[in-house]
Amino acid sequence: MTIAELAAWYREHGRHALAWRASRDRWTVLVSEVMLHQTQVPRVAAVFDAFMAEFPTPAATAAAGPGAVITAWGRLGYPRRARRLWESSVHILEHGWPADLSELPGVGRYTAAAVAAQVDNDDRVGIEVNIRRVCERVRGTRLADAEAEECVREIGRGLPPRDRLLAMMDLGATVCTARAPSCDRCPIVSLCATRGTHAEETKHRQPRYIGSFRQRRGIVLAQLRAGPVATAELDGEVLASLLDDGLAEVTRGRAHLPRPPRSGSSQGARARGR
């Protein structure tokens, strides 16, 4: 069996230098997982330390307001994640950490399981794209979530839940990659039914960004980060979508990033008191 080989590979080749890997703080790990959703590791690593210095706790994040979080989010993309992160900070400040993190705004099953595994060594299994790819190649077929979770438990049997999650994730991200898997470097190759891609595997391509609605949203958000702008000067369709997502507000004909809660609100009062 290759369980020992996977553990040894992770000890030597795991991405231990990533800043968030050094922490077991629940907020720090949650921020990292939210940032990493749909964003490559190098882009997150470039901004993570500065972001955490500005928003080190849920209380600091809630007090700063959504606009500050969206501004600091910069060009990580999918800025609704920044808004949901701020909303999560308010929820935590007002109600404490929920037992199930999927109760927080924008936190799904994988993120909740991943945070629990990394912070509490909880045995729940999170299935993200890299882990799914490893499991489907090992089994040689597409897998439902429950089947992928069973596969992770089998491959990682004997590893603590935190190491199991990170080892499988790192294996998929650095060895069992989507386009060019390095089977000669894989510690579990003897378990693999495909030794690479398999017939049912689907290649997922990122939608074209240049000229897309996403790009237009990014342009308008960049304008708003610089300060309020007359609504007449902005892309109206984009502004409407940003308003719907809580990423912008309009005051007296000028659009701007969302402002902190008013001082009299419960959110503002609680944030100031912590």
Positions marked catalytic: 33
Residue type, 85: L
C-alpha 209/C-alpha 227 separation (Å) is 25
What the block records as the tokens of 234 is 């902005």
CA dist list (Å): 111 to 30, 103, 108, 246: 8, 11, 5, 22
End-to-end alpha-carbon separation of the chain, Å?
Answer: 51
Using alpha carbons, select from 107, 117, 71 the residue that is nearest to residue 131.
117
Residue whose entry in the numeric block shows the structure tokens 């503002």 = 268
